[in-house]
Structure 1
Amino acid sequence: MQFNTKLIPFAIALAFAGSAGAQDIIKIGHVAPVSGPSSHLGKDNENGANMAIADLNAKGIKINGKPVKFVVQLEDDGGDPKQGTTVAQKLVDAHVQGVVGHLNSGTTIPASKIYMDAGIPQISPAATSPDYTKQGFKTAFRVVANDNKLGGTLGQYAVQKLGAKKIAVIDDRTAYGQGVAGEFVKGAKKASPGVQVVAKEFTTDKATDFNAILTSIKAKNPDLIFFGGMDSVGGPLLRQMKALGIKAKYMGGDGLCTDALPRLAGDAAANGVVTCAEAGGVTADLQKNMDDFRARYKKQFNQEVQLYAPYVYDAVMVMAQAMIEAKSSDPAKYLPYLANIKYQGVTGPISFDSKGDIKDGTLTLFTYTDGKKTKMEVVK
C-alpha cells in the first residue's frame, strides 16, 4: 500500500488545529413532564434549563484551564413515576454529569435511587416532599423549601389569618399532594387545636369530575377547602366548587399557585378566594434580580414565567459552579463542592444542609386579583 506523503503534514496540521480549539463537553440532564396535564409547567422548566445552558456557554467558561461547552439532554417523564425511572436510567446510560429534575415529587423520589446508584448529582428545582431528602442520598439536593414548611405555613395562615374553623382537605394521591395536605393539617392543628377537619377526600392527578366529592363536602359546610395537587386538577375543581354554590375559601401549595390557575378555574378564582404558597421567593432586596430574569424570559419565550423556571436556572448554575470550584466535571469530584456550595442565584442565596435541603428556604404567599397572581408576602 502506498501513502501520499504530501497529504500527511496537512492531515497532522488539521488534527492539531482541531485539538487546539477543542472543548470538553459537559452534559447535564433535565427531566420534567412536557406531556400530560402539567406539560405547561414542564415546558417552563425546560425553558429555564435552556436559558442557563445558553448563559453558561456565552461566558466562555473554563474548567481547570480548559474550555468547556455545556449541553442539556431534555427528557419527558410525563409526571409518571414509571416513566420517570425509565428516563432516569436513560440519562445514566448517556453518562450525563448531573441531573436537574424532576418536577413532581412522585417522579423525583424513585428516580433519585437510580442517580444515587450511579453517583450522579441530582438537584430538584420543584419537588417538595420531605421523603426525597429523608432517604439519605448524598447525591440528592433541592433548591426550594419542602412540604414541612410549605404545608405547615399554609395551615397556620388558614387559621390565624383567614379565621378558618371548619376545614375540608382534598388531595390527588400523589407523593406531593398527600404530603402537602398532611403538613397543612398538622400546621392548622398546631395553630389551633380546636380546628375541625370536617372532610378528607381524594381524587387523582388526571381527574376531571369532582361532583361526588364536592357534594359530600358541601353538606359539611366548611369555611375553607385545601387542595393538595397541581393546577391542572385544582383549577377545574375550583370551577366546579363555584358551580355547586360552595362559598368556602380555597387554598393550595405551589402546584396550584401558577399564572395559569385563573385560566383553568375561570371566574371561580375571584378576588380573594384563593390563597396559595410558592416554595421559594425573594425578599425585597433581591427583587430586581428576579424581575430582570422574568423580563429576559418573556423576551426569549414570549410568555411569562409559569412557576419553576428561575429555580431550574439556578439549579443548573449551582451545578456548574460546583464543577468550576472542583476543577472537574467528574461527578465524584465535584459532588463534595456541590454539598458545600454558597451561590447567589436569581432566586436568592443557595446552600444546602446535611440532607441536601436548601438552607433558610423561603415561601411566598399569593392570592389572585382581577385574574392575576398577586404576591402577598415572603415568609422565611
Structure 2
Amino acid sequence: MQFTALIKHAALTGLVLSSLAAAVAQADQQVLIGLAGPLTGPSARIGKDLENGAQLAIDAANARHPTIGGEAVTYKLVSEDDQSDPRAAVTVAQRLVDAGVVGVVGHWNTGTSIPAARVYHDAGVAQVAPVATGHAYTQQGFDTSFRIMGHDDDGGQVAGKYALQTLKAKRIAVIDDRTAFGQGLADQFVKSIEAGGAAVVSREYIDDKTVDFSAVLTNVRSKNPDLIFFGGVDAQAAPLARRIKQLGIKATLMGAGGFVSQTFLTLAQKEGEGVTALEPGLAVEQMPGGKAFEQAYVDRYKTHIELHAPFAYDGVGVLIAALEKAGSTDPQKYLPVLRNIDYQGVTGPIAFDAEGNLKNPTFTVYQVKADKWVPVSVAGGKP
C-alpha cells in the first residue's frame, strides 16, 4: 500500500509540475501590446473608446489562434492612463517599456505623442498613433513612429479650401487653444486661406482649460467675420458654439480633428446646428469594415463608438500583422516590415511614407443637421 501511495503521490506531483510547466510556457508565449491614452479626466471618454477598440482587435487576433515564428502566442493589452498630460505621457511610456510591450498604440493627442515618442524610440518599441494629427510627431525622425490618419498639414489645407470654395467665407476669425494640436492645425488653416486670397480678420488665443469665451468672442464680433475657425477639441468647441449664438454672432463655426463626437452634440444642444468640422478618415458607415466593426463594438460594450475606436483597432491590427509577417517580436526584424506594410484595415488601406505618416489619407467634412453629425464631403484618399 505504501508503494502504491508513493506511486500515486509521484504521479500527482508530476501532474502538478507538468501543469506548472505548461503555465510557464503559456506565460512565455504571451505578447504584450500597450495602449496609452487619457483614461481619466475630461477626455476619459475618448481614452476609453480607444481602449475598447484596441481590446476588440486583441480579442479578434486571439480568436484565430495566432503564431509568431511558428510558435503559438496570446496577445494581451496593457493599458496606461496618460491623463492627456505631456509629462504624464513620458512616465507612462517608460512604464509600458519596462512592462515589456512589443509595441504601443497611442497616445491620443500630439502633445502627449511627441514627448513619449523619444522613450519608445530609445527602447526600440513601435509607436502607432491612432489619432495624433500634429505633423511634428513624425517629423522628429524616429523610425519607431507611425500614424494611421492624416496629419494637420494636410487637414488644414483641406479645411481651408472647403471654407473658401464651399462655404464661400471671406472674413475669417481664428481661435486656437495653444496646444501642439490646436495651434498647429490653426496655423495650417491660416496658410491655406491666405493662399486662397481670404483675410484673417482676427487671430485669438485661449488655453485648453478656458471655460469663458466672452473676451475673445467680443473681440471677434467687432471684426464682423462670416466664419470662425477653432483649433481645439469638442469639450471646448461645444460651449464656444453656444456662446457664439448667445452673443448674436452671425458666423459659421468650423473646426477639425476632434469635433465630431456625441459629446459635442450633447453639450452644444441646439446651438450646434450648422457647425462644420473636418475629421481625418471616413465616416464609420463609409469605412470598408465600419458597419461590422460598429456592430461588434455595440454588441460588446452596449454603447456606440465615441470617436476614434476604429483607428485604435487598426493600430493594434497593423502592429500584429507586422509581428506575424516578420515572424518575430524583435524590433530589428519587425520594424522594417511595419515600415513597408500594405494592410487592409477597418478604416481603409494602411501604408506608411518615409516619415511614418499614412499614405493617401482621407478627410471627411461633417455638418450638424437635426442634432446629428452628417458627412457632406470627402477629400483625399486613393482614387
TM-score band by shorter chain is: over 0.9
Residues 282 and 378 of structure 1 are in contact (CA less than 8 Å); yes or no, is this contact kept in structure 2? no
Q: CA RMSD in A?
A: 1.7
1:242 corresponds to:
245
| Structure 2 residue 61 is the aligned partner of structure 1 residue 56 | yes
Q: 1:127 to 1:287 in 2, by over 3 A?
A: closer
1:156 alignment partner, one of 158, 161, 185: 161
1:249-288 matches, cutoff 5 A: 249-270=252-273, 273-281=274-282, 287=287
Q: Give the TM-score of the pair, scaled to structure 2.
A: 0.93
Q: Secondary structure at the match of 2:244?
A: helix
Count of matched residue pairs:
372
**Mapping 1:302-313, distance limit 5 Å:** 302-313=302-313
Give the structure 2 partner of residue 38 of structure 1.
43
Tell whether 2:178 aligns with 1:177: no
Aligned partner of 1:202 among 199, 202, 205: 205
Shift in alpha-carbon separation, 1:19–1:44, aligned structure 2, 3 A? same
Structure 2 gaps, min length 5: none
8 Å contact kept, 2:284–2:294 = no
**Which amino acid counterpart does residue 211 of structure 1 have in structure 2?**
S
1:355 and 1:168, CA in 2 relative to 1: closer, same or farther beyond 3 A? same
Structure 1 unaligned segments of length 5 or more: list them: none
Q: Which amino acid aligns with 1:184?
A: F
In 2, are the aligned partners of 1:282 and 1:348 still within 8 Å (CA)?
no
Q: Which residue of 2 aligns with 1:107?
A: 112
Residue aligned with 1:260, SS: helix
Q: How does 1:206-225 map to 2 (within 5 A)?
A: 206-225=209-228
What is the deviation of 1:336?
Answer: 1.1
Shift of 1:332: 2.6
Is 1:227 the counterpart of 2:230? The answer is yes
Following superposition, the deviation at residue 93 of structure 1 comes to: 1.2
Please say if residues 103 and 124 of structure 1, whose CA atoms lie closer than 8 Å, have aligned partners that are also in contact. Answer: yes
| Residue 145 of structure 1, aligned match among 127, 144, 150 | 150
Per-residue CA distance 1:109-147 (angstroms, 9 max, x = gap): 000011001110000000000101111100000000000
Following the alignment from structure 1 to structure 2, what is the Cα–Cα distance between the partners of residues 283 and 373?
Answer: 12
Contact preservation (8 Å) 1:147, 1:183 = yes
Distance 1:333 1:325 in 2: 10
8 Å CA contact 1:282–1:362 kept in 2: the answer is no
% identical aligned pairs: 44
Asked whether the equivalents of residues 283 and 378 of structure 1 are also in contact (C-alpha less than 8 Å), the reply is no
Go from structure 1 to structure 2 and tell me whether the alpha carbon gap of 1:245 and 1:346 turns closer, same or farther (over 3 Å shift).
same
Write out per-residue CA displacement over residues 25-73 of structure 1, whole angstroms, 9 at most, x where no aligned residue: 1101101112222221111111101111111111111111211111111
1:9 CA drift (Å) = 5.3
What amino acid sits opposite 1:319 in the alignment?
L
1:362 aligns with 362
What is the CA-CA distance between 1:281 and the residue it aligns to? 1.4
Question: Does structure 2 conserve the Cα–Cα contact (< 8 Å) formed by 1:279 and 1:363?
Answer: yes
Q: Are the counterparts in 1 of residues 102 and 126 from structure 2 also a CA contact under 8 Å?
A: yes
TM-score by length of 1: 0.94
